[in-house]
Chain A
Amino acid sequence: MIRLEYRDIAMRFSDANGGGVTAIEGVSFSVDDGEVVALIGPSGCGKSTLLNIGSGLYAPSSGQAFVDGDPVLGPNAHVAFMLQKDLLLPWRTIAENVMLGVEIQRHSRSECLRRAQELLRSFSLSDFVDHYPHQLSGGMRQRVALARTLAVDPSVLLLDEPFSAVDAQTRIVLQRELAQALKRTKKTALLITHDLLEAVILSDRVLVMSRRPGHIVDEIAIEIGDRDDPFRRRQDGKVSGYVSRLMERLEIGHSGTDQQASSKVA
């Protein structure tokens, strides 16, 4: 069963000079139920735009996104997103932050609290329920943001570089927590990342986007087991093969490549 589908999406923005910029063009792909798909591509290729279209925040210039078979016509309760910024509200406690989405969707107070407590327990944050965001480390805050995303019980999670703002060691821990949470809740996810290794170890499939105007240039199925155990996947012999293929597709390491893409991998 298809959870998320992009059908022939194009997005054009008008720039300051009155001209137009085509950010993405002819993008079609779908994500099956319970599948985790990673999306990689050079900076500015329109990955985040795709995510915003999927969450209903932007309407595409042409084409249509579908979630659970229904066209996405605006923000809806089937989709929830998470960004690299934790976006926690400083005046809300950790539990209240997790409750934000459920509260907006008008669930009863006791139901909101129950979900928040349950999720925080699964992320080992029970001791911080009544703390405020500034009292938590960056990694903990990002876990709270993930709990807030899961609290609304969406069909599809859209994750836009969720761990690029935390340090390398915390990232490894958070990757495992995400992988386990996705497995446990059987959620479908679209993960945008700059980190090629992260794309390989967290997903079932990696889509590669070209430079602007962005379109899908390659699709790689990751044939390694244990998707809920990125630690083990890291050790797998096939990983380096996938990463080199991704580097090749992104033209990293070739002469005249864009500096930014190379530095991201280094």
Chain B
Amino acid sequence: MTPDRNTLIRRGSAASVVLLVIFLAAWEWGPGLVGIPSFIVPPVSMVFEEFVRMLSVNHLLFHTGITAAEVLVGFALGSLLGAFFGYVLGISPVAEFALSPYILALQIAPKVAFAPLFILWMGFTVYPKILVAILIVFFPVMVNVLTAIRGIDPDLINLARSFTASRAQIFWKIEFPSSMPPMFASLRIGATLAVVGVVVGELVGGNSGLGYLLTFGEGQANTPMVFVCILMLTLIGGIAYVAVIAIEQRVLHYMPARPLGGL
């Protein structure tokens, strides 16, 4: 017998809370029990104290804000560019044929390796970080949009054509809405990848952002500080991911309901 949706949510939430408590307890007392020193794995209370200290001493919120802004801008621009090129290549086979070797080469190249180059070009500003995020978000969005356009049933296009649809009408009434589900799948991936891109940029050079605080904490052998930065980065990625899902559920409201909102 399968439980209904409400029972599933209630039981699942209860189990999640129990797991969280167990995890926090294991983090707090586990390392001490097996003799791991606190400079290797600081207990959760120590990380929390460091978090409070960093709020006032290290401008933690300022650095978090910088990183979040870079993630937001990089993600937005990367998605827009990716979607734009996905549509152009999807609609024009000639453009796809001509550009695909270059796009493939750029896709194979590890995007984070461009970070030092961008910093050489643009200095210790926010721009190289945003650029790495754009580059890393661009590909999954472009590939998904392109595949979506390619995958549309030709009979659907013919149906629109038989109704005397113009090229623009075919795009706006058939192709664009068809691409939405795969596009949102790629935006979910992109939201988390944007954080990776920005942090790598910040790690390589600069004096602001959580990536900078990470290297700063590392330099001081301040393990709790590194933990705080990792947690804040996860928080940014998590908020970005949930925001994408919230927009997705508004846009794709016509899809059959999935359990737990399809997290």
Choose one: A52, A91, A104, A132; the contact of B160 (CB below 8 Å): A104
Choose one: A56, A81, A104; the contact of B165 (CB below 8 Å): A104
B4 within 8 A of A: no
**B136-176 residues at the A interface, CB under 8 angstroms:** 153, 155-156, 158-165, 169, 173-174
Residue of A nearest to B256 (CB): A134
Residue of B nearest to A134 (CB): B256
Shortest distance from the beta carbon of B47 to any chain A beta carbon, whole Å: 46
Choose one: B156, B162, B173; the contact of A81 (CB below 8 Å): B162
Query: With A81-B162, A104-B164 known to touch, is A90 a contact of B155 (CB < 8 Å)?
Result: no
B104 within 8 A of A: no
Contact: B255 with A90, CB < 8 Å?
yes
Contacts of A90 in B (CB 8 A): 254-255
Choose one: A55, A87, A100; the contact of B173 (CB below 8 Å): A100
Interface centre among B159, B169, B180 (most CB of A within 10 A): B159
Task: Name the prevailing secondary structure of the B interface residues.
Answer: helix
- What is the interface residue range for chain A against chain B? 20 to 34
B177 within 8 A of A: yes
Q: State A87–B153 Cα separation when bound (angstroms).
A: 9
Contact: B174 with A56, CB < 8 Å?
no
B interface footprint on A152-181 (CB within 8 Å = 1, 0 otherwise) = 100000000000000000000000000000
Contacts of B180 in A (CB 8 A): 91
Choose one: B155, B165, B174; the contact of A89 (CB below 8 Å): B174
Residue of A nearest to B164 (CB): A75
Q: State A143–B251 Cα separation when bound (angstroms).
A: 27
Contact: B159 with A87, CB < 8 Å?
yes
A interface footprint on B202-240 (CB within 8 Å = 1, 0 otherwise) = 000000000000000000000000000000000000000
Choose one: A80, A83, A104; the contact of B155 (CB below 8 Å): A83
Q: How many residues of B contact A (CB 8 A)?
A: 20
Q: State A81–B254 Cα separation when bound (angstroms).
A: 26
Contact: A89 with B177, CB < 8 Å?
yes
Shortest distance from the beta carbon of A77 to any chain B beta carbon, whole Å: 6
A240 within 8 A of B: no
Residue of B nearest to A102 (CB): B163
Contact: A79 with B162, CB < 8 Å?
yes
Contacts of B163 in A (CB 8 A): 75, 77, 80, 100-101, 104-105, 152
Q: Nearest 5 CB-CB pairs, A to B?
A: A101-B163, A104-B163, A104-B165, A55-B162, A132-B254
Return 30 A-B CB contacts under 8 Å, by A number: A55-B162, A56-B162, A57-B158, A57-B161, A75-B162, A75-B163, A75-B164, A76-B164, A77-B163, A77-B164, A79-B162, A85-B153, A85-B155, A87-B155, A87-B156, A87-B159, A89-B174, A89-B177, A90-B254, A91-B177, A91-B252, A91-B254, A100-B163, A100-B173, A101-B163, A104-B163, A104-B169, A105-B163, A132-B254, A152-B163
